[in-house]
């Protein structure tokens, strides 16, 4: 069965956020490295919801009152998106009340916080590579220097590509990614963002 078919069965062919039945599409919850993608990291969502998730300036707060129901979903991806949107809208008042009632497991909460939606603009930490390019969760970078990995004998060689990075939301200098099978913390001064086609 395809991912779309799996999600249609799970959701009874309705948007898992607002219950709309039109314009349904797969929305992969980013970043994939942390848990997005596949059935467990995707949501069947309508065009209206996806547009507002991806374009914050188009957000209509009243549309998201539907989260009063979907925030109780048994599916992690749906809960994560609900938490992110409620966090983004919390200044409206009612979303904060829902957030106060909502419960996420520690791992789900870590995944939800990857987007930074819970932070005020002034609190958001911007990660930049050695050239000053802004890094985002899910980007790919290349090491510009050999790096000794603390606590192991591994040396990550210059030129190594690290795909689908995640960001440390407490320190602008730290990102995480896999080198081979090992998940490591990398200092942003030693990486260069890869262009999409690299």
Residue 9, CA distances (Å) to 13, 55, 64 in order: 7, 28, 23
Q: What percent of the chain has pLDDT over 70?
A: 90
> In this structure, are residues 162 and 143 in contact, taking their beta carbons and an 8 Å threshold?
yes
- Listed in order, the ranges of the chain carrying CATH 2.30.30.40 are 125-193
CA distance 94 to 91: 8
Q: Inform me whether the pLDDT recorded for 104 exceeds 60.
A: yes
User: Cα(25)–Cα(3) distance, rounded to whole angstroms?
Assistant: 11
Phi, psi for residue 197 in degrees, rounded to 5: -80, -10
What CATH architecture is 125-193? Roll (2.30)
- Strands of 191-193's sheet, edge to edge? 161-162, 141-143, 191-193
pTM summary value = 0.61
Measure Cα distances from 25 to 39, 42, 51, 58, 157 in Å.
13, 10, 11, 19, 40
At 198 the pLDDT is: 45
List, for residues 136-181, the tens digit of each pLDDT value. Answer: 888 899 999 998 887 778 888 999 999 888 888 778 898 988 888 8
């Amino acid at each position: 069965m395809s991912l779309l078919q799996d999600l249609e069965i799970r959701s009874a062919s309705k948007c898992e956020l607002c219950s709309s039945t039109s314009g349904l599409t797969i929305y992969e919850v980013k970043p994939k490295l942390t848990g997005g993608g596949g059935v467990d990291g995707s949501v069947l969502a309508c065009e209206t919801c996806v547009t507002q998730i991806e374009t914050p300036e188009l957000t209509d707060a009243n549309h998201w009152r539907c989260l009063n129901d979907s925030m109780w979903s048994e599916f992690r991806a749906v809960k994560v998106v609900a938490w992110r949107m409620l966090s983004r809208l919390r200044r409206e008042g009612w979303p904060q009340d829902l957030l106060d009632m909502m419960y996420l497991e520690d791992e789900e909460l870590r995944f939800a916080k990857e987007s930074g939606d819970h932070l005020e603009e002034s609190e958001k930490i911007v990660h930049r590579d050695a050239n000053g390019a802004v890094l985002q969760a899910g980007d790919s970078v290349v090491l510009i220097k050999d790096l000794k990995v603390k606590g192991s004998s591994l040396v990550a060689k210059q030129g190594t590509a690290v795909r689908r990075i995640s960001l440390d939301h407490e320190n602008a200098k730290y990102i995480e990614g896999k080198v081979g099978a090992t998940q490591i913390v990398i200092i942003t001064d030693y990486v260069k963002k890869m262009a999409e086609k690299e």
